[in-house]
Structure 1
Amino acid sequence: MRITVHLDTFQCAEVAHAVLWLDRESRKWSREGHAVIDLPEWGTLAYTKGNTRIHAADHDRATCELTGLDLGSTAGPCEGASGQALWYRHAHHTPIPGKLHIQCVDNTASDPENGVFAEGGL
């Protein structure tokens, strides 16, 4: 299952947003577009207490937490669902709250040819 998530409405001076593609089976994500939110190009997913945490590929500190988005559950998210996103802009600082919106849920099985979701990653 691959999920397209739009993150926005962060309490910043600038308009901040990101579009992420989450792959539940591989536990990886990629950044498809962004402005102001300085997320890496891709990383790993962690599921904890009904939330999904976005980690960079090179460390285990969460860069973003999608509260209420439980990708560890057998029941998948629904298109159009929304919730809160917490962006950890700076390590050891309070996260910046924003919104998440599920744009697309793709349940089809397909093997990627290349990129982060291909066997072995980038």
Structure 2
Amino acid sequence: MRITIKLDGFDHAAALAYAVLWLDKERGRWSREAHDGFELPPWGTWRSAPDGTLLLDPDTLQAVLMLHGLRLNAPAGIAGATGTDDPSACAPSESQKGRANYFGCGADGESRAPDAGHWHVQCIDRESTVAEHEVFSDEPDAVSGQSAHAHDAGSLAM
């Protein structure tokens, strides 16, 4: 399952700052598909947290974003099916939304105060597909068998 998330409304970012991310539930990875106004790594891993889902930088494994209320490991179903009446306890659904905290990214290693914003699910692709080119990770490419890091920048041009 792949989930498309849009991020926006961050306090300290440019007024029109946004990002569109794909979260791959089976592989535990995410990738940045579009962005403007704040920096995110091109891809990373995610992990469940008590309050939602943490998106991690692939190099440092530091939290880049916290998506409050997004429960990627929750069972499918309706609220109450998991023993709670909390609607966020269910698997993600289209148009679901919540609070996001952006912690920043970069190699400076300095801790930063989180920047508050919002996330919402734009689309859920329930089909499992293999990407033709693994541009955003170190996984082998389905066509060449090499990782994205083995390609030079020109080899990915369309």
Q: Deviations over 1:48-68 (max 9, x none)?
A: 114111111111110001000
The count of residues paired between Structure 1 and Structure 2 equals: 122
Over the matched positions of the two proteins, sequence identity in percent amounts to: 38
Larger mean CA deviation between 108-117 and 97-106 belongs to: 108-117
Query: How far 1:46 sits from its partner (Å)?
Result: 0.9
C-alpha separation between the residues in 2 aligned to 1:56 and 1:49? 19
Report Cα offsets for 1:18-43 as digits up to 9, x if no partner. 00000011000100100112001001
Aligned to 1:103: 122
Backbone CA RMSD of aligned residues: 1.8
The match for 2:61 is 60
- How much has 1:89 moved relative to structure 2? 2.2
User: Given residue 61 of structure 2, which amino acid in structure 1 is its aligned partner?
Assistant: D
In structure 2, runs of 5+ residues without a counterpart are 77-90, 141-146, 149-158
Looking at CA atoms only, which structure, 1 or 2, has the larger radius of gyration?
2
Amino acid at match of 1:89: G
| Gapped regions of structure 1 (runs ≥ 5) | none
Range with greater deviation from structure 2 (33-42 or 105-114): 105-114
Higher strand content, 1 or 2: 1
CA contact (8 A) 1:65 1:85 kept: yes
CA distance in 1, matches of 2:128, 2:13: 41
Structure 1 CA distance for aligned equivalents of residues 137 and 14 of structure 2: 31
2:132 maps to what in 1? 113
Corresponding position of 2:2: 2
d(CA) in 1 for partners of 2:40, 2:3? 17
Given the two structures, how large is their TM-score scaled by the length of structure 1?
0.90
Question: Quick one: higher RCO (CA 8 Å, sep 6+), 1 or 2?
Answer: 1
The structure where helix makes up a greater share of residues is 2
Structure 2 counterpart SS, 1:30: strand
TM-score scaled by structure 2? 0.71
Residue correspondence of structure 1 range 1-122 to structure 2 within 5 A = 1-12=1-12, 14-15=14-15, 16-75=17-76, 76-89=91-104, 91-115=110-134, 116=136, 119-120=139-140, 122=148
